[in-house]
């Protein structure tokens, strides 16, 4: 991997496809910055819920987003999300916060603010970024664009395992239903819906281990850089 030039990897895909796990591992191997954009939307949703803002009221959501003191910092090499001085990195991983994120991310002004912040964080760095519209909106000129996918059933099983490991177990049927609802919301919203960039490489991770996906992405990036 060339050490004398910066690069960017944009990983998009539906909830539970393994984007964060893969992006984090890839960034670590490449000594690049990792940015989990989904956690940023989760933090916005959490902040608005706490403030009593009706997330079905797009005008109220748009009016409130500029007052939310969201920031990203890196502690021990790991990304942390802050609301003011409060580290909400753990709080935003609660299952119910996922749907809050889908609702606020459907509001154009929320996406405008988050995209501007994401670009600002990434500027001048080699970066691996994952989300729903990274290759289409946030990093349209990314060195490598990947659409990481997996079947809803596989994604639900992975999410159940993740939640169990965090002592937040949820029934598989509920997780699968929530996953399908999140997919519908993300792909049908008017503002930057979940979609694959025309020049993105599609990779189905249903039958692949995380290290196999990371190895495949490293090979693709090597090719893109040469």
* pLDDT tens digits along 144-200: 999 999 999 999 999 999 889 988 899 999 999 999 998 898 888 877 788 899 999
Please compute the mean of the pLDDT values over residues 198-219 and round it to a whole number. 96
Query: 10 near 119, Cβ under 8 Å?
Result: no
Q: How confident is the model at residue 24 (pLDDT cuts 50, 70, 90)?
A: very high
CATH topology of domain 8-219: Rossmann fold (3.40.50)
- 98 vs 18, 92, 126, 140, 181, CA distance in Å? 15, 8, 28, 25, 11
Number of alpha carbons in the 13 Å side-chain half-sphere of residue 152: 13
* pLDDT value at residue 73: 92
CA 61 to chain CA centroid, Å, is 20
For the beta sheet containing 127-131, the strands, ordered from the edge strand earlier in sequence to the opposite edge, are 33-36, 127-131, 8-12, 144-149, 201-204
Asked if pLDDT for residue 1 goes beyond 60, the answer is no
Instruction: Work out whether the CA dihedral 31, 135, 217, 37 comes out positive or negative.
Output: positive
The percentage of the chain sitting over the pLDDT mark of 90, rounded to a whole number, equals 73
pLDDT in tens, 117-138: 999 988 888 999 998 889 999 9
Give the start-to-end residue ranges of the domains of the chain.
Answer: 8-219
3-class SS at 75? strand
Query: How far apart are the C-alpha atoms of 52 and 50, rounded to whole Å?
Result: 5
47-68 tens-digit pLDDT: 999 999 999 999 999 999 999 9
> Angle CA(64)–CA(68)–CA(70) in degrees, nearest 5?
145
Residue partners of 18: CB distance under 8 A and separation at least 6: 148, 150, 158, 205, 210, 213
Q: Is the pLDDT of residue 34 over 60?
A: yes
Position 14 scores a pLDDT of 92
pLDDT at position 3 over 60: no
In this predicted structure, the answer to whether residue 2 has a pLDDT above a threshold of 60 is no
Length of the chain as a residue count: 226
**Is residue 99 very low, low, confident or very high in pLDDT (cuts 50, 70, 90)?**
confident
What is the pTM for the complete model shown? 0.81
Locate 219 and state its tokens: 């090979």
Q: Please, what sign has the CA dihedral across residues 159, 126, 37, 191?
A: negative
Q: Is residue 4's pLDDT more than 70?
A: no
pLDDT for position 76: 84
Q: What is the pLDDT at residue 195? A: 84
Pairing of strands 70-75, 78-83: antiparallel
Q: Is 21 helix (H, G, I), strand (E, B) or coil?
A: helix
Mean pLDDT value across residues 205-211: 94
CB under 8 A, 24+ apart: contacts of 44-50: 44/68, 44/70, 44/101, 44/104, 44/105, 44/110, 44/114, 45/97, 45/100, 45/101, 45/103, 45/104, 45/105, 46/83, 46/88, 46/91, 46/92, 46/97, 46/100, 47/83, 48/100, 48/104, 49/100
Stronger pLDDT, 95 or 154, i.e. the higher one? 154
């Amino acid at each position: 991997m060339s050490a004398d030039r910066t690069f960017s990897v944009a990983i998009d895909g539906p909830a539970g496809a393994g984007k964060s796990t893969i992006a984090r591992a890839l960034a670590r191997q490449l000594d690049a910055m990792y940015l989990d954009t989904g956690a940023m939307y989760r933090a916005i949703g959490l902040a608005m819920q706490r403030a009593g803002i009706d997330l079905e009221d797009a005008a109220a959501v748009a009016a409130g987003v500029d007052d939310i003191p969201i920031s990203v910092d890196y502690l021990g090499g790991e990304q942390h999300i802050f609301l003011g001085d409060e580290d909400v990195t753990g709080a935003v991983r609660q299952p119910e916060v996922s749907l809050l994120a889908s609702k606020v991310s459907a509001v154009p002004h929320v996406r405008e603010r988050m995209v501007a912040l994401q670009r600002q964080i990434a500027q001048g760095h080699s970066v691996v970024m994952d989300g729903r519209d990274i290759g289409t909106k946030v990093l349209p000129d990314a060195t490598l664009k990947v659409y990481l996918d997996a079947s809803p059933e596989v994604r639900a099983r992975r999410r159940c395992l993740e939640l169990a490991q965090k002592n937040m177990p949820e029934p598989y049927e509920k997780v699968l239903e929530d996953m399908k609802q999140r997919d519908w919301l993300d792909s049908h919203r008017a503002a930057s819906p979940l979609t694959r960039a025309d020049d993105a490489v599609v990779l189905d991770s249903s039958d692949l281990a995380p290290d196999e996906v990371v190895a495949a992405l490293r090979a693709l990036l090597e090719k893109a850089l040469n």
